[in-house]
Amino acid sequence: MAQSNSNLIERDLSVIWHPCTQMKDHEFLPLIPIKRGKGVYLEDFEGNRYIDAISSWWVNLFGHSNEYINSKIREQLENLEHVIFAGFTHEPIIQLSERLIKITPEGLNRCFFADNGSSGVEVALKMSFHYHKNRGEIRPLFLSLTNSYHGETLGALAVGDVELYKKTYDEIMIKSIQVPVPENNSVEAVEKPLQELERVLQERGKEISALILEPLVQCAGSMHMYHPNYLIGARELTKKYGVHLIADEVATGFGRTGKMFACEHAGISPDFMVLSKGLTGGYLPLSVVLMTDEIYSQFYCDYTLQKSFLHSHSYTGNPLACTTANATLDIFEKENILEKIAPKIEYIGKKLEQFRDLPNVADVRQQGMISAIELKGYRPEERIGLKVYQYGLDNGVLLRPLGHVIYFMPPLIISFEEIDKMIEVAYKGITNLLTS
């Protein structure tokens, strides 16, 4: 039987609970079954095509069904699909680790693998706490920025600060304190938050294992952006007070900000870097935590000393996932992707100007291939983002606003024509709000 949208929707809704979704919304909001993807396009079972302007939740880099990545998976599939990663190893992961160490900031010399962004964050948090404990210090606190997001497992949720996701679970959170993120991406906005960071480190530094932050762009925090000088200051202060710096580049890594990693804009090296999302080009779940030799060495000892990091996931370092990650790095190298996106970033920047004068626009911001338009004058109950989302779908563009912030984070291979269409549809969606 040929599948149709409606048939699949009905079957789905009778058995599935979707992530980050109030399922009752689907009484009026149609689910969209996707039949295939090619390049920046997704296509449903009725032949409707949508530009994936959000890279399928910020993961896709080089388009759907990328021929090069596909061929690499096929090759790997013939050899090895998976193997236990304790006591055993495989070539794709060794190659990947060597390459990641080369391209990440100086000093990150060791890779620990997990299978999604949240569990990567958990690894970094546990390892940081455990490092201090191995040195005879108990530091039960983590420090993070206001408005931050680090994932949704309990530990990752606890260090985040997006109330919508966190508030319900208040009673069962591990301890974290938040220091203010700079208000905007100006140089001036950096000063006060750094003073506040130093005050907290001075007062409670000995209780704090690490400061975790999303460098430059707080993606789930409505694409809030801040100046690289904050990172420079935070790196200096965490060093001075003996607290680890964890850079959560799960979303910002792999070219999104215009450089391979957002930390490069500030020229800093964190003690830990967490990568996922774009790591596999948007193909398969995989995450990696890179850390310094100093951290690794605090765990290296005789087994009986209880200093070992006994953390694992069944699918840690899956060979197929590592293969897609290697293929992703191949494409970055062979196709000079970082050079190729520079004119696109500039082009998007020019096109964003038209939004600034609209009466319902409060702010327009951009960092590399990530850009956002913040609307004003609406109450949350109006669910203004949902209206733009629906308008986008009706007109062939998948936008998925965060509340009243409309944003673009397209695959890096998006063409200039596709950028035109993506922005034109968003513009009409936003101006429509003024007349409806």
State the residues that interact with ligand PLP by CB under 6 A: 116-118, 121, 149-151, 214, 219-220, 248, 250-251, 276
Q: Which residues contact 430 (CB under 8 A, 6 or more apart)?
A: 355, 358, 360, 361, 373, 375, 388, 406
Q: How far is CA 332 from the centre of its chain?
A: 18
Q: Which is nearer to ligand PLP, 51 or 219 (CB)?
A: 219
How many other C-beta atoms can be found within 10 angstroms of the C-beta atom of residue 342? 11
Cα distance between residue 6 and residue 387, in whole Å? 22
Q: How many CA atoms lie within 13 A of 29 on its CB side?
A: 14
Least CB distance to ligand PLP at residue 162 (A): 11
- CB-wise, 157 or 430, nearer to ligand PLP? 157
Minimum gap (Å) between residue 60 Cβ and ligand PLP: 13
CB of 314 to ligand PLP, least distance (A): 16
**163 neighbors 232 (Cβ within 8 angstroms):** no
Q: How far is the CB of 44 from ligand PLP (least distance, A)?
A: 24
Q: How far are the Cα atoms of 22, 113, 121, 179, 294 from residue 288, in angstroms, in the given order?
A: 31, 4, 9, 26, 18
Taking the complex as a whole, the smallest distance from the CB of residue 54 to ligand PLP amounts, in Å, to 12
Q: C-beta of 204: minimal distance to ligand PLP in Å?
A: 24
Nearest residue (CB) to ligand PLP, 104 versus 116:
116
φ/ψ of 248, rounded to 5, equals: -90, 95
Closer of 279 and 384 to ligand PLP (Cβ): 279
DSSP code per residue over 352-393: HHHHHT-TTEEEEEEETTEEEEEE-S--GGG-HHHHHHHHHH
134 vs 209 by CB, closer to ligand PLP: 209
Nearer of residues 160 and 205 to ligand PLP, judged by Cβ: 160
Q: Would you say 151 or 429 has its CB closer to ligand PLP?
A: 151
- Residues 6 or more apart whose Cβ sits within 8 Å of residue 408: 53, 54, 348, 369, 370, 371, 372, 399, 422, 423, 426
Q: How far is the CB of 298 from ligand PLP (least distance, A)?
A: 25
Place of tokens 């021929």: 67
Residue nearest to ligand PLP (CB): 117
Report, in Å, the least distance between residue 39 CB and ligand PLP: 23
Distance between CA atoms of residues 50 and 398, nearest Å = 6
Q: Give the list of residues 6+ apart from residue 378 with CB closer than 8 angstroms, or none.
A: 360, 384, 404, 433
| Cβ-based nearer residue to ligand PLP, 5 or 218 | 218
DSSP letter assigned to residue 115: S
Tokens representing residue 160 in the block: 């985040």
Structure tokens at 251: 């979303």
Rounded CA gap, 191 and 182, in Å?
Answer: 8
The nearer residue to ligand PLP, 44 or 214, going by C-beta atoms, is 214
Minimum CB–partner distance for residue 116 and ligand PLP (Å): 4
CB 254 within 8 A of CB 61: yes
Cβ proximity to ligand PLP: between 20 and 138 the closer is: 20
